[in-house]
Chains A and B, each alone.
Chain A
Amino acid sequence: MSDITKQSLSELVENIKGKKLSSSEVTKAFVERSEKSKELNAYITEDYANALNKAKKFDEKPNLDLKLPGIPMAVKDLFCTKDLRTTAGSKILNNFVPTYESTVTQNIWNEGAILIGKLNCDEFAMGSSNETSFFGNVQNPIDKNLVPGGSSGGSSSAVAAQLTPITIGTDTGGSIRQPASFTGTVGLKPTYGSCSRYGIVAFASSLDQAGPMAQNVKDCALLQEIISTYDEKDSTSIDFKRNVYSKELTKDIKGKKIGIPKEYRVDGMPKEIEDLWKKGIEYAKDCGAEIIDISLPHTNYALPTYYIVAPAEASSNLARYDGVKYGFRAEGENLIDMYEKTRSEGFGAEVQRRIMIGTYVLSSGYYDAYYLKAQKVRKLIKNDFDDAYKKVDAILTPSTPSSAFKIGEKTNDPVSMYLNDIFTVPVNLAGLPGISIPAGHDAKGYPLGLQIIGKAFDEQNILNIAYAMEEKINFKNNITDWWIK
């Protein structure tokens, strides 16, 4: 089969289970395509030889009862992988080789999947365009010199370009949903506490969540049921009844109440996004859903809140990079000098900026004015959602305020870069699940996404709505393989 990499995850699983394809054939196909796609710069670390060996071993004694039997998969380089370098896109972790495995990736390998490499991302997941990575920017397979979104930009690029059948990213303020939207792929940010944070390089611990990124909703549901487990190694992991999402997936969403928040009609929103949203509402109605206007009055305060809470937590989490226990060290005249040089040379500009913001808002005399204030506004934002969910089952919004932009277009203005996450950040602040599905193209032919936000722990419901709408939308990604010579 020459078109192995064009198959969806579900098709590949079926073909391996039906013995029409071997793990070796599938793994070889994705490795070869990845090798031909170096120009995308989607990988930070390749592990092709090991992957091919593991596939061969799998084929010798295939366990076809597993959910991901011999399926090759690349993952975001924010997940610690035992004995394989994990960098978080940073110079400071350039030579870090974990001695343990993240729970989320362990769950994936337990179901038979095979690691083929680690995918590029913004440094410590801080960015919306993958341009803050120490390992260089990533190309969006949609068009040359277009950003793939961020921070899970290597992940979105790799799934859209079919270098991996499926992948995982992490989402602190939109880092799964925004890149999914920019590349015409599906990305789910689960409820906070759904997927274990154990072994994921920490950015902002009260917001970080791992989640699946895929070419379609069904694949996304399958991966979600694998990665979402209660884990005692993460003290914020929540023990709730998890569905077998792919088995319970249904397109029957008749009578579901879907809210349209008026505050998401932001100033200066391009007409294309407004039109996409209107079309989305029509699709939802066609599926039998009932549309209800709602209000989330504190929406405008979500981004300023996020840019206090996330840097504050980051400044605390990143205090561990001191050049002593692991990672890069710059020599200094004394201990303090060594710390300061290590962190100044080891972190990139955006990470330093956020550590400084976080340190400032937590510092003596400013804590109440900034950090405490932000935590209070965060409560108001969560209350907005709680009120809305008394009336509706889910909320429909655009995923992003624009389509993908050119590399270098927004790097000089941090605030304009931050505005990318205006529709995704409130979901993290409230700890809710949200999914982005491709829903159309703009005039340039670049993909645009719609976001469905659910109640806490109600992943099944938003997956169902996404599944039903996906059929009506019938989106086709326009990938021309321009990077393959």
Chain B
Amino acid sequence: MEKRVTFKGIWLPLLLVLPQILVTAIFFFYPAGQAIWQSLFIPDPFGLSMQWVGLGNFEFLLSDRFYRASFLTTAIFSILVTVVSMGVALYLAVLADRLIKGSGTYRTLLIWPYAVAPAVAGVLWLFMFNTRVGVVTWYLGALGYDWNHVLNEGEAMGLVVVASAWGRISYNFLFFLAGLQAIPKSVIEAAAIDGARFWTRFRTIVWPLLSPTTFFLLVVNIIYAFFETFGVIHTITSGGPQQATTILVYKVYSDGFVGQDLGSSAAQSVILLVIVSILTVVQFKYIERRVHY
């Protein structure tokens, strides 16, 4: 039996939900509304006047080849981050699941990177790969490879992907491990008796039973790659070289606060808002149905 709390008046319940509503209003609805409003204007660089341009900012953006290039960069970046962080996490979780002794220590150590802030993680990786003093760069040099992510676009992308995926592995690992441990042991044993060896068991039993977890992580990781990787990119490449690592959310920042084109920046955040809404709706509406068994 579900026990529901009922209130007599309207004021107490209102008071109870007020903090949540206030937080959402101040930090989401107000800025989002501001962004939508500003996207319809071009302000001057000093913020002294604004000129109404209607959908002019959007028209300009959609015909701008740099903006379209940023879409491609974002797609490549988020696919790579998601695949790398989820792939490595799944591999580690499968190993940890088979572990009997010391699994607690192993788990704790693997969770640590999650506690590192993206910007700090970015700086850590930047130091290791610094073109002049980086440890990894030095060893690569010793092996005859000239690492220079400041000039090489592919290397820059590789570095921000690794740095972004690294902190994310812990989070994914936790969910995958919980997902694996939720699969009844006897089901795996039954498959073993049925003749399935490790890889066959994984492919036909474990992976399908893990699909709700995988789907959830897919959504969460794509959204992470879209937005929360700003700190990593800002510290390591600042979107360069030649915009090779300028993903959409970084372009919002660099066009708005570096380029001082606040109208375009606002229009870009509106576009991002729409993209993420569509992504989420599509994923939950259509893909989720297929992963339930």
Q: Do A and B come from one complex?
A: no
Binding site for A on B (CB under 8 A): none
**Taking beta carbons and an 8 Å cutoff, which residues of A are in contact with B?**
none
